[in-house]
Structure 1
Amino acid sequence: MATSIMVQGTASDVGKSMICTALCRIFLQDGYKVVPFKSQNMALNSFVTQDGGEIGRAQGVQAEAAGVVADTHMNPILLKPKQDMVSEVIVHGKHFLDMTATSYRNEFVHKALPIIEKSVRKLQAEYDIIVLEGAGSPAEINLKDRDIANMRMAHMSDAAVVLVADIDRGGVFASIIGTLALLDEDERARVKGLIINKFRGMRELLDDGIEWVERETGIPVLGVVPYIDVNIEAEDSLALSSLRFKKPKAGEFALDIVMIRLPRISNFTDIDPFFDEPEVGVRLVAKVRELGTPDLIVLPGTKATLDDLAWLRKEGFDEAIQALAARGTKIIGICGGFQMLGETLTDPDAVEGDGTAAKGLGLLPVATVFSAGKKTVQMTGERNGLSLTGYEIHLGETTLLGGEPFMTLADGRVDGAVVNNEQIIGTYFHGLFHNRTYTRALVNAMRADKGLSPLPSDVKSDSERREEAYNMVADHLREHVDMAKVYDIMNIERG
């Protein structure tokens, strides 16, 4: 039966996913058959498995770092926020139903436990090591009776728990002591090690504090991990405030790319590859006054297309985007953003809301009709002679009324729409920009429009970049965390 280690945090966004990703790669490098697991994930960015299941993006990334094919047993319950206090509940990769937070806690949580346990037992039988990731904090005393993501999972899998605290946000020692104080005795007994994450500064200044924490708690500090900016996709909206988004001054970068921060934004990691492009500034914009005159506007995916379209109009983005389009600004809409760029959006079965129809921005000759049944599938296609890989996650069918499709898919379908010599593009193709050759060609086209010389067309593939990132975080963790102690708390003897 597999040995389990669980990474929990003193709060959300302390770096649990990154630590889990690094551990998955380290255990793989050390010759173990390792698998990631998160019982319940609330995430706006999701991953589509080979058989069309939808799981948290972090578990898809961790599976790749572990050298295994992602499947829904690695994240059997996924929650995707749709409205205030309402989320889509996805069970083993498929839509189950939409539930309020109250009904989920009162009616569903007890039904979820057998589903989760079945996945745990399956993974225990098939792997050497399970790397479990917690959610938020295990010390939310108002939620502990319904917890299915933290200490209950540690008990179920008999996992040694490593508690991660983020020193970058301040109060790291208080957060550690406070979290431990709020745990029950049997829960606290499972915490076998501490990691201080996102450190910046002089390591020796922490020594007195570390000695005090170890003396007071009897729990060893396994390491102090310096902050690292590495290109691994984020999981939820907290990452939208990360340092990766640039706030360029006027003229600082050759190209200015803007993504609209929709209230229900999803799969915003579509924009990530532009961070790696030289002389490109990437901005996240939630106010029309911040829009300016960018070279490219990206309308991203959303969990509530009609609501976010109404928000665009309320904020004045519709007229601003239409005016920029008339001036020649390039605009690309992905998934819900693609639907918004069309002529009409109708909802006859009230799938998106109350059944109200809406007029789109009118920049693409397409019409969308929402219907029950989400499409989740990995996909390949071709555009301008380039082979592209990505995935679909969407409700609704979009009909091309004119112009030309954006690409031809391997299964014979066509996807998206394009007009005005590729000035306006719409597609359901998530992951489009992760096709690095396509993205470099797009950047060079925009550079040419401004009279700039092209960048080299020979670029590393996304898979090569991800492999480098997984090895980088593994090396980083090995350098700053005592892996001998990690193996010791897992009761694994290493020669």
Structure 2
Amino acid sequence: MAKVIMVQGTMSNSGKSFLVAGLCRVLKRKGFKVAPFKSQNMALNSYITKEGMEMGRAQVMQAEAAGISPTVEMNPILLKPTSNTGSQVILNGKVHSNMSASDYYKNKRAFIPYILEAYNKLCEEYDIIVIEGAGSPAEINLNENDIVNMGLAKLVNSPVLLVADIDRGGVFASIYGTVALMDDDAKNRIKGIVINKFRGDKNLLTPGFEMLDEHFKKIDANIPVLGVIPMRKIDIDDEDSLSERLDTENVIFDTNKINIAVIKLPHISNFTDFNPLSRRKEIVMKYITSPKEMEDADLIIIPGTKNTLYDLRWLKSMGFNHDNLEMKNLIGICGGFQMLGNDLIDKYGVEEGGSEIGLKLLHFSTVFSKNKTTRQTETEIINYPDFIDTLYDSGIIGYEIHMGSTISHNEIPFTKSDITDNGGFVNKNIMGTYIHGIFENDNFVDAIIRGLSKKNSKKVTSDTKINDFNTYKESQYDLLADLIEESLDIDAIMDILVKSEK
């Protein structure tokens, strides 16, 4: 059976996903078969496996770092928020139900058998499992029914690394406070502290480590600091809406580049779709919330959303409408695609129920269904909007995640008819598609850059040195592993692993 180690954080966005991915890559380079695991993930960024199962993007990213194919066992429970108080519950890759936060909390221990079944399956296939916690283990109001932090660590008898974000300030208080709120068993499980996102001279922290150790003695804790990870830009997928990628208020469009504005919907999902665009030197990408911000944009994108009807109403309330979008070069992805049509009908209450008039930029209707379409996609583009240059190789790959289907009113299909609703529709300067991950197709992004350059009379210099997207991602995982190896006491971590028991 596999050895195991768990990464928990003093707070959300402390660097758990980042550290798990880095450890997966480090262990892979040491010759181990390693897999990530997160029992319960709350995120609007999801992915579809080759088996058609839905899981969180963070574990997909970590699986890539480990050099393995993602499987739903790595994330048996995915919570996709539909409102401030409720989520769609994805169990083993399929929709289980919609539940309020209080109902889920009352019933979540019933999911433990599914969690252990997934975990044990991974243990049979891999040498090491690196587990990611969620939020903070010091949320004492939730600990009684915990299945993702110390509750899970106890279930699988895992040692724990505690990671803290120093960039937000108060790092020693967050570390000490987290440990002080734990019972003795939980304290004893924490085998090391990792400080993340440090800027400056690490020697200045040494007195703090010594004082932290003295404070730990007062609560019968003996936990060493295993390293300090400096702040460094490494381009890997982010997990949720706390991502710094979405904070682009200070980004300024460049007349010598292709300027892309992504509308930041309240329930934006799968914003990882746009990471391939943001890495291109020929592109400036900005998230926007008002029509005024799109004036200098060469391309507008309406992204996916977990609550299409709500976000469509928000879009209209912010001033986006048929008239100011009609002449823009425009792409809608998934929920954003559905908004481009004539109307959206939710007669089964899949989201909020009722119906809403669409933007009427493409002529089709969307009817939400109780069943969710989840599958990987490999198809061929047959028609292009006028701002995309024709591809020499028109094949594209991606994946679909949606609970609606479109009824076309003689619109032009985007792809061959071998996928749902022709993969979307095109009409002059407007394009909509259900295909997530479409911008991971380098040829497609190249065609967008060429097409917009021609249409808007821009002389955009192509970045001839850029790697294909998969090669680029691999290079980032190696940079991450290098950073982890330089910053942490890997020998101590290996010793913790050796002592771990199933």
Is the shorter-chain TM-score for this pair beyond 0.5, marking a shared fold? yes
Residue 481, structure 1, aligned to residue 482, structure 2: no
- Choose the corresponding residue for 2:439, options 433, 456, 460: 433
Residues 28, 66 of structure 1: 8 Å contact kept: yes
Question: Which is worse superposed, 148-157 or 333-342?
Answer: 148-157
Structure 1, residues 220-250: CA drift from partner, whole Å, max 9, x if none?
11110011222211110000x4487463336
Structure 1, residues 249-273: CA drift from partner, whole Å, max 9, x if none?
3647633211111111110111111
Question: Which is worse superposed, 241-250 or 60-69?
Answer: 241-250
Question: Which is worse superposed, 12-21 or 309-318?
Answer: 309-318
Structure 1, residues 426-457: CA drift from partner, whole Å, max 9, x if none?
00000111112211220222122232234448
Residue 178, structure 1, aligned to residue 184, structure 2: no
| Cα separation, 2, equivalents of 1:111 and 1:334 | 35
Question: Which is worse superposed, 285-294 or 387-396?
Answer: 285-294
- Choose the corresponding residue for 1:387, options 389, 395, 399: 395
- Letter paired with 2:376: Q
Secondary structure at the aligned position of 2:458 is classed as coil
Which residue is equivalent to 2:95?
95
Secondary structure at the aligned position of 1:357 is classed as strand
Cα 1:388/1:244, change in 2 over 3 Å:
farther
Which residue is equivalent to 2:385?
none
* Aligned ranges 1:270-349 → 2 under 5 Å: 270-319=273-322, 322-326=323-327, 329-349=328-348
Secondary structure at the aligned position of 2:369 is classed as coil
| Cα separation, 2, equivalents of 1:270 and 1:337 | 13
| Cα separation, 1, equivalents of 2:493 and 2:340 | 51
Cα 1:390/1:243, change in 2 over 3 Å:
closer
Cα 1:290/1:338, change in 2 over 3 Å:
same
Which residue is equivalent to 2:411?
403
| Cα separation, 2, equivalents of 1:248 and 1:116 | 42
Which residue is equivalent to 2:191?
192
* Aligned ranges 1:89-488 → 2 under 5 Å: 89-106=89-106, 108-217=107-216, 218-239=222-243, 241-242=244-245, 245=248, 247-249=250-252, 251=254, 254-319=257-322, 322-326=323-327, 329-354=328-353, 356-383=354-381, 384=391, 385-408=393-416, 414-420=422-428, 423-456=429-462, 459-488=466-495
- Letter paired with 2:411: G
Residues 246, 281 of structure 1: 8 Å contact kept: no
**TM-score normalised by length of structure 2:** 0.92
| Cα separation, 2, equivalents of 1:65 and 1:38 | 15
| Cα separation, 1, equivalents of 2:419 and 2:315 | 34
- Letter paired with 1:352: E
- Letter paired with 1:259: V
Residue 27 (structure 1) shift? 0.9
Residue 381 (structure 1) shift? 1.6
Cα 1:300/1:192, change in 2 over 3 Å:
same
Secondary structure at the aligned position of 1:99 is classed as strand
Which residue is equivalent to 2:39?
39
Structure 1, residues 182-223: CA drift from partner, whole Å, max 9, x if none?
011100100000100011112211121123223443211111
Secondary structure at the aligned position of 2:481 is classed as helix
Which residue is equivalent to 1:73?
73
| Cα separation, 1, equivalents of 2:394 and 2:462 | 17
Cα 1:306/1:77, change in 2 over 3 Å:
same
- Letter paired with 1:247: N
| Cα separation, 2, equivalents of 1:119 and 1:101 | 23
Residues 109, 146 of structure 1: 8 Å contact kept: yes
| Cα separation, 1, equivalents of 2:260 and 2:204 | 40
Secondary structure at the aligned position of 2:135 is classed as coil
Structure 1, residues 58-95: CA drift from partner, whole Å, max 9, x if none?
11111121122211111111100001201000100000
| Cα separation, 2, equivalents of 1:133 and 1:27 | 15
Cα 1:360/1:413, change in 2 over 3 Å:
closer
- Letter paired with 2:234: V
Secondary structure at the aligned position of 2:211 is classed as helix
Residue 103 (structure 1) shift? 0.7
- Letter paired with 2:449: V
Mark the runs of 5 or more structure 2 residues left unpaired by the alignment: 217-221, 382-390
Secondary structure at the aligned position of 1:371 is classed as strand
Which residue is equivalent to 1:5?
5
Which residue is equivalent to 2:219?
none
Question: Which is worse superposed, 407-416 or 360-369?
Answer: 407-416
Residue 365 (structure 1) shift? 1.9
Secondary structure at the aligned position of 2:359 is classed as coil
Q: Over the residues paired in the alignment, what is the CA RMSD in angstroms?
A: 1.9
Mark the runs of 5 or more structure 1 residues left unpaired by the alignment: none
Structure 1, residues 393-440: CA drift from partner, whole Å, max 9, x if none?
0011112223311112656972100111xx211000001111122112
- Letter paired with 1:89: V
Residue 14 (structure 1) shift? 0.6
Number of residue-to-residue matches in the alignment: 484
Residues 257, 282 of structure 1: 8 Å contact kept: yes
Residues 162, 190 of structure 2: 8 Å contact kept: yes
Residue 476 (structure 1) shift? 0.8
**TM-score normalised by length of structure 1:** 0.94
Question: Which is worse superposed, 274-283 or 285-294?
Answer: 285-294
Secondary structure at the aligned position of 1:237 is classed as coil
| Cα separation, 1, equivalents of 2:257 and 2:420 | 38
Identity over aligned residues, as a percent? 44
- Letter paired with 1:283: K
Residue 469 (structure 1) shift? 1.2
Residues 244, 275 of structure 1: 8 Å contact kept: no
- Letter paired with 2:414: F
Residue 37 (structure 1) shift? 0.4
The runs of 4+ residues in structure 1 deviating greater than 6 Å are none
Structure 1, residues 21-63: CA drift from partner, whole Å, max 9, x if none?
0111111111111111000000110111110111111111111
